[in-house]
């Protein structure tokens, strides 16, 4: 994962929805319409903003951690929209020239209950203050578009117990931006994600998660979604115009 060149690939985008498990639809270049919830309660709309760690690059879009939620209890009551794009970061343009900021602009709206930002090592090589400014702008824009949404910012992971100093600086910038935006910061480097089980969780390219690795990300990021979902659901139910 330690590199300075943006990742490349052309993944389909995903939208998953549902209450008793998530229904999956796949499109190319834009979000698909999701199915209505199975109960009378409106689902919590979750937008995933990210890079190739969230697209299923190296496995398949159907095996990316946001898509895996369709068969996981954490997906109950959630409508998950995966905006992630290979190669993208807060500053780094992705395969379709998108950034985390443009992903927010495209798919976050007033009905969004949770926005998850995840990554990105693709910003290695950019000036740290530029990353921090772009991150804060993306978070502030998400809050403007979805005033009721919970903002969860997951920094880039390191696959080594001796992280690249550039990744540590990105993480530091994101932590500061998240605090200013009033979101919740999750630090995979400090928590030691993946580094203790690299061989099983990362594929042959040494960079992208295996299916087991995607399940690992679902477990870890999903825990924060479970914590945030009740308050997000209450906010949606308290505003009938959002249902």
Model confidence at 69: pLDDT above 60: yes
- Could you tell me if residue 89 is inside a domain? yes
In a domain, 144, yes or no: yes
Residue 1 lies in a domain: no
Give me the mean pLDDT over the 188-208 stretch. Answer: 93
- The neighbouring-strand residues paired with 14 are 26, 82
Q: What was the pLDDT predicted at 196?
A: 83
- SS (HEC) of the chain: CCCCCCCCCCCCEEEEEECCCCEEEEECCCCCCCCCCCCCCCCEEEEEEECCCCCCCCCCHHHCHHHHHHHCHHHCCEEEEECCCCCCCCCCCCCCCCCHHHHHHHHCCCCEEEEEEECCHHHCCCCHHHHHHHHHHHHHHHHHHCCCCEEEEECCCCCCCCCCHHHHHHHHHHHHHHHHHCCEEECHHHHCCCHHHHHHHECCCCCCECHHHHHHHHHHHHHHHHHHHHHHHHHHHCCHHHC
Domain that holds residue 187: 13-242
Residue 26: burial class (beta carbons within 10 Å; 0-12, 13-18, 19+):
middle
Residues 6+ apart with CB under 8 A from 75: 16, 18, 21, 22, 69
- Number of domains within the chain: 1
Q: Name the token pair of 163.
A: 């992280």
- pLDDT at position 132: 98
Reported as a single tens digit per residue, the pLDDT across 1-51 is: 443 333 433 333 333 333 323 333 333 333 433 333 445 578 899 999 999
Average pLDDT over residues 181-205: 95
Tell whether 216 is covered by a domain: yes
**Residue 98 maps to a domain:** yes
Task: For residue 45, give Cα distances in angstroms to 36, 128, 134, 180, 236.
Answer: 12, 31, 24, 24, 9
Kindly report whether the peptide bond that precedes residue 120 is cis, defined as omega within 30 degrees of 0: yes
* Rounded-to-integer distance, Cα 213 and Cα 223, Å: 15
User: In this predicted structure, what is the pLDDT of residue 89?
Assistant: 98
Mean local confidence (pLDDT), 125-130: 98
Nearest 10 degrees: Cα torsion 52, 57, 58, 63: 120
Instruction: Report the range of poorest mean pLDDT among 8-22, 59-73, 116-130, 221-235.
Output: 8-22
How far apart are the C-alpha atoms of 26 and 186, rounded to whole Å?
28
Please say if the pLDDT value at position 236 is more than 50: yes
Q: Give the Cα separation of 242 and 236 in Å (integer).
A: 6
pLDDT above 90 (res 150): yes
Q: What is the pLDDT of residue 24?
A: 34
68 found inside a domain: yes
Q: Which CATH number do you get for residue 232?
A: 3.40.50.1110
Mean pLDDT computed over 87-98 = 98
pLDDT band per the 50, 70, 90 thresholds, residue 242: low
Lowest mean pLDDT among 9-13, 43-47, 75-79, 214-218: 9-13
């Amino acid at each position: 994962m330690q590199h300075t060149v943006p990742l490349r690939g052309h993944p389909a985008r995903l939208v998953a929805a549902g209450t008793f498990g998530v229904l999956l639809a796949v499109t190319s270049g834009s979000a698909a319409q999701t199915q209505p919830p199975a109960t009378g309660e409106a689902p919590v709309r979750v937008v995933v903003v990210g890079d190739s760690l969230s697209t299923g690059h190296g496995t398949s879009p159907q095996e990316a951690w946001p898509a895996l939620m369709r068969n996981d209890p954490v997906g109950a009551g959630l409508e998950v929209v995966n905006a992630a794009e290979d190669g993208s970061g807060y500053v780094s343009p992705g395969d379709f020239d998108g950034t985390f900021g443009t992903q927010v602009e495209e798919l976050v709206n007033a009905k969004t209950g949770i926005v998850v930002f995840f990554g990105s090592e693709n910003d290695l090589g950019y000036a740290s203050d530029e990353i921090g400014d772009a991150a804060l702008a993306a978070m502030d824009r998400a809050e403007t578009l979805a005033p009721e949404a919970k903002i969860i910012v997951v920094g880039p992971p390191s696959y080594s117990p001796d992280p690249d100093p550039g990744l540590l600086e990105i993480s530091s910038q994101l932590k500061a931006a998240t605090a200013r935006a009033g979101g919740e910061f999750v630090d995979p480097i400090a928590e030691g994600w993946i580094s203790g089980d690299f061989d099983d969780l990362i594929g042959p390219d040494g960079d992208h998660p295996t299916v087991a690795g995607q399940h690992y990300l679902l477990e870890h990021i999903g825990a924060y979604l479970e914590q945030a979902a009740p308050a997000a659901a209450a906010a949606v139910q308290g505003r009938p115009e959002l249902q």
